[in-house]
């Protein structure tokens, strides 16, 4: 039972959102929210979650339109709305100062989330991210790459 992850679906922002949760096994260093890329799902994180959960509570979710989440015709599939789903998800579970981990398109969603709710995000880890914001001045602490790289290196090694 200890190696298993909790799985469930919640209704957020007008659609079903599937997620998995893994509680940290060791000393808790924080909470990570994993955001997958385009044409993917939280399944893509299956091999890295056991390593991350050594010191982090892990939430991995399927963005609307992907994996086991809802695929509604009336949901606007945009980076802004995906960011709002992440924000609503964190509010629902009372998550604060999370580490957002975004892969590919998930990195773009992580950037929009941090831009729209900076107090929610402690750190960003962007992996092969499609990340486009207008200018670095819009979100100045993204210009400081070393803390992002440092935690990514420490966690993933």
Establish if 1 belongs to a structural domain: no
| pLDDT, averaged in runs of 10, over the chain (157 residues) | 80 97 95 96 95 97 97 95 98 98 95 95 91 53 44 46
What CA–CA distances, in Å, run from 61 to 3, 17, 54? 18, 7, 19
Q: Give a yes or no: residue 136 inside a domain.
A: yes
Please name the residue that has the structure tokens 């092969």: 128
Q: Is the pTM of this model over 0.85?
A: no
Residue 102 lies in a domain: yes
> Domains in the chain: how many in total?
1
Owning domain of residue 35: 6-156
Residue 52 resides in a domain: yes
Question: In this structure, is residue 49 part of a structural domain?
Answer: yes
User: Domain containing 136 — which CATH number?
Assistant: 3.40.50.1820
């Amino acid at each position: 039972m200890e190696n298993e992850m909790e799985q469930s679906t919640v209704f957020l922002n007008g659609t079903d959102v599937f997620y998995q949760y893994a509680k940290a096994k060791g000393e808790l260093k924080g909470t990570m929210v994993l955001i997958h890329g385009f044409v993917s799902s939280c399944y893509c994180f299956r091999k890295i979650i056991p390593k991350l959960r050594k010191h982090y509570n892990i939430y991995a979710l399927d963005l609307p339109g992907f994996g086991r989440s809802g695929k509604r015709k009336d949901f606007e599939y945009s980076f802004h709305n995906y960011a709002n789903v992440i924000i609503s998800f964190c509010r629902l579970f009372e998550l604060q100062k999370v580490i957002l981990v975004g892969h590919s398109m998930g990195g773009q969603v992580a950037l929009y989330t941090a831009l729209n709710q900076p107090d929610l995000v402690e750190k960003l880890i962007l992996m092969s991210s499609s990340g486009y914001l207008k200018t670095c001045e819009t979100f100045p602490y993204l210009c400081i790459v070393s803390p992002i790289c440092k935690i990514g290196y420490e966690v993933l090694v």
